[in-house]
Structure 1
């Protein structure tokens, strides 16, 4: 599996940090007390697809939960399919929970430096 944080040089003396969308999704879900994201994979004709599921507690009671899911586009590898899913679910979180994924990405980048 690919590293969650890749560091490299983009040109000159400038360091570039790329944080996997899966890592960003995990941090965003934690902020809303959600479960660990779970991925379900499919493959058809060499194209990987996946669906990511996350559970969130509702304020209505101990057993009250809400499930969010998202499906990304078809990709060449399982990892790429998961990244596509994470990106799709982050969009759903931003829209429904008013989460700011860009802020989380910046915080992760600072931690890794």
Structure 2
């Protein structure tokens, strides 16, 4: 939001930036986990660590997927809410301009 001498404007770009950053972070934490998971599986497959670690790793992978999917669902819900805020701000701005100009 910015304020001028005789005007106030709602700038939805900031909300779009937040959504974009969140999506990038979601991609990044998956990349990190996938790399760790792959490296650990490689250790098991090469026999460099006890094979029982493989079972534990798969359990942890399933838990990570469950948790990340739940987080993603929550992020998507927040994105939808943010879009609602953005739309309400834009519509509110249009309504104020129409009112100020005498148009309905």
Q: Report which of the two structures shows the higher radius of gyration computed on alpha carbons.
A: 2
TM-score of the alignment, normalized to the shorter chain, above 0.5: no
The TM-score range, normalised by the shorter chain, is under 0.3
After TM superposition, the score normalised by the length of structure 1 is: 0.24
Q: Specify which structure has the bigger relative contact order, considering alpha-carbon pairs within 8 angstroms and separated by 6 or more residues.
A: 2
Q: Which has the higher helix share?
A: 2
Q: Which has the higher strand share?
A: 1
After TM superposition, the score normalised by the length of structure 2 is: 0.25
